[in-house]
Amino acid sequence: MLAEIIWNADPILFSLGPISVRWYGLMFAIGFFLGYQIVAAMFKHEGAPERWLGILLAYLVIGTIVGARLGHVFFYEWGYYSQHPAEIFKVWQGGLASHGGTIGNIIGLLIFSWAVSKKPASWVFDKIVIPIALVGGLIRLGNLMNSEIYGGPTTLPWGFIFVRNGETLPCHPTQIYEALCYFALFALLMWMYWKRNAEERPWLITGVFFIGIFVPRFLIEYLKNVQVSSEYEMIARYGMNLGQMLSIPFILLGIGLVIYSLCRPRQHWTFPNRFAPETEEERKKR
């Protein structure tokens, strides 16, 4: 039986002169690389054009980073950033909000559906949310390496003492709790797509994703330390913090999408298992 775990990990993996490679950034990069490979396999399976992959990746990277940063700025620390607007651009100093990243992804995918694929939005949403669950788990491991976003004291045998933050008591490693939930969700969504052809029920995978991401997030928030001081008043008044309040609309959206998808007939597709050939117009654009 473990009594406690002393955690003093260096958030920097290695440095090359003035450039430092952090575990958090590495987890982000690994997530996007693996996500690209997963979506590429889905596009090939369904016969989508291969050239869409790079375009989609660009929309997602921009949507995730901009959305997550602005989510942190406006949802959590607007009082500070409104007085120091130049600090908003210093993403490398930390401060990303998953709810903002989700909103940024939604906007990016809607633009992609309208401007590039010309398909119903459900077509791309039901694919991209699968690797996003994986990326979410990897990012939480990055948070663990940064010794951030952890919980309050615990007597459980797997409590972490976050030495870098001056902690002397074992605390809930809520980063690991969330990561495990997100990895389990990723496995479930992969099974739904590849084994159950759940993509033939538009919005079903997306609905399960929203429920599977934000229900654990809502519950684990009860174990976390307060991230910004302004949340104390909110918890005293409403019994929940801002992260939980922001999770509720996504949970309700997920439930609504699941009900909607199950109430409609399944669409039977044929899967060519190859990328769509380029058209003459697309060849001219290259």
Average confidence (pLDDT) per 10 residues, the chain, 286 residues: 83 88 91 94 95 92 88 83 81 74 92 94 96 95 95 94 94 97 98 96 98 97 84 86 91 98 93 85 60
Cα–Cα distance measured from residue 210 to residue 254, given in angstroms and rounded to the nearest whole number = 5
Q: What is the pLDDT of residue 281?
A: 63
Q: What is the pLDDT of residue 187?
A: 98
Q: What is the pLDDT of residue 249?
A: 95
Q: Which residues pair with 171 in a beta bridge?
A: 153, 160
Q: What is the pLDDT of residue 286?
A: 57
Q: What is the pLDDT of residue 99?
A: 79
Q: Which residues pair with 6 in a beta bridge?
A: 161
Cα–Cα distance measured from residue 175 to residue 127, given in angstroms and rounded to the nearest whole number = 25
Position 238: which residue type? Y
Q: What is the pLDDT of residue 73?
A: 86
Cα–Cα distance measured from residue 196 to residue 204, given in angstroms and rounded to the nearest whole number = 12
Cα–Cα distance measured from residue 207 to residue 188, given in angstroms and rounded to the nearest whole number = 13
pLDDT in tens, 134-160: 999 999 999 999 999 999 999 999 999
Contact present, 115 and 87 (Cβ < 8 Å): no
Query: What residue segments make up the domains of the chain, in order of their start?
Result: 20-285
263: Cβ contacts below 8 Å, ≥ 6 apart:
none
Q: What is the pLDDT of residue 255?
A: 98
Q: What is the pLDDT of residue 88?
A: 83
The one-character DSSP state at 175 is H
What tokens appear for 103 in the block?
């909103």
Helix (H) or strand (E) holding 181: helix 174-196
Q: Pick from 100, 185, 103, 172: which is nearest to 143 by CA?
A: 172
Cα–Cα distance measured from residue 15 to residue 41, given in angstroms and rounded to the nearest whole number = 34
pTM of the model: 0.88
Position 25: which residue type? G
The one-character DSSP state at 268 is P
Q: SS3 breakdown of the chain: % helix, strand, coil, rounded to 5?
A: 65, 5, 25
Cα–Cα distance measured from residue 112 to residue 54, given in angstroms and rounded to the nearest whole number = 11
In sequence order, what E strands does 17-124 have? 19-22
Q: What is the pLDDT of residue 154?
A: 94
Computed on alpha carbons and rounded to an integer, the radius of gyration of the chain in Å comes to: 20
